[in-house]
Amino acid sequence: MYRILCDRSPARELGAGLRWLKKDGQIVEFSTMNEAGAMAKDLTESATMTNVKYTAKKYDSGND
């Protein structure tokens, strides 16, 4: 499983922080790194704020 990590810089009004990307309150997951990477790239390129970096990461739920 792959997810997108949102890395908020300290320059943000809310301060620094790491969070998984969510949509409608649920963490967004992808079955391939290519899908997650493409979404992270799109988010980064379309971002109006430069204080957030999006990175695709492998996530191990520990249930394997």
Triad 55, 22, 30: Cα angle to 5° = 60
Find the helix or strand (DSSP H, E) in which 33 lies: helix 33-46
For 7, other C-beta atoms within 10 Å of its C-beta total 13
Residue 64 confidence (pLDDT): 45
Residue 38 confidence (pLDDT): 97
pLDDT, averaged per 10 consecutive residues of the chain (64 residues), comes to 87 71 95 96 80 89 61
What pTM was estimated for this model as a whole? 0.77
Residue 12: CA count within 13 A, CB half-sphere: 15
Residue 41 confidence (pLDDT): 93
Residue 26 confidence (pLDDT): 96
